[in-house]
Amino acid sequence: MSLSNRKMHKAVLKELCSPVTLLEIGFGSGSQLEMISRSFSQTALDCIDISKDMLWCANKRLGTRAALSSCSIEITDYPDDFFDTVITTDTCYFWTDAVRTLNEIKRITKSGGRLIIAYNSLYAGSVHRANSAFRMYNNAAIMKLCENANMKVLSHKTCGFKQKVLVISIQKE
């Protein structure tokens, strides 16, 4: 997983502008976090993953360098306007209510902050799992999702075969 996602991890890293506070959603084994912590040694790293097994793996890799916790992004207890940057790679397919999740991300991100979503569109439209909200997105579907969540897309780039990086500017009234 980490190896096949390497191009997305590198593409996300290129989009970061020395954030002071960063949240990674769905950190998996922690390989992207390790890359970020090497490039941005001063950035405060918060990270959540729904899986306790992944928490155990990433803890071994990162130790005290990042505040890792096991919870879902669908509802968090972070304060409003907390992060400069929120990133998530290869995870948006699992969000049961994607618009609600984007609204939760908006709540905890500062106005003018950024959300970076990296995803694989290879099987978009062809993956259906019974009794599951699992969903893969193609370009049109992800743009529609951002529109429904009232989010402003700054860029949408390809970084590998059918792998994409979407940069969103968080705007609040």
Ligand X SMILES: C[S@@+](CC[C@H](N)C(=O)[O-])C[C@H]1O[C@@H](n2cnc3c(N)ncnc32)[C@H](O)[C@@H]1O
Footprint of ligand X (CB under 6 A): 1-2, 5, 25-28, 31-32, 48-51, 54, 72-74, 89-91, 94-95
Give the shortest CB-64-to-ligand X separation in angstroms.
20
Report the half-sphere exposure of 47 (CA within 13 A, side-chain side): 33
Please report how close the Cβ of residue 165 comes to ligand X at its closest, in angstroms.
Answer: 12
Residue 122 or 152: the one with the smaller Cβ distance to ligand X is: 122
Give the nearest distance from C-beta 151 to ligand X in angstroms: 18
Kindly give the pairing relationship between strand 83-89 and strand 66-70.
unpaired
Name the residue nearer to ligand X (CB basis): 2 or 150. Answer: 2
Closest to ligand X by CB, 39 vs 171, is 39
Which CB atom, from 112 or from 122, has the smaller least distance to ligand X? 122
Which residues, 6+ apart, have CB-to-CB distance to 118 below 8 Å? 5, 8, 9, 11, 12, 87, 88, 89, 90, 159, 163, 164, 165, 166
The least CB distance from residue 86 to ligand X, in Å, is 12
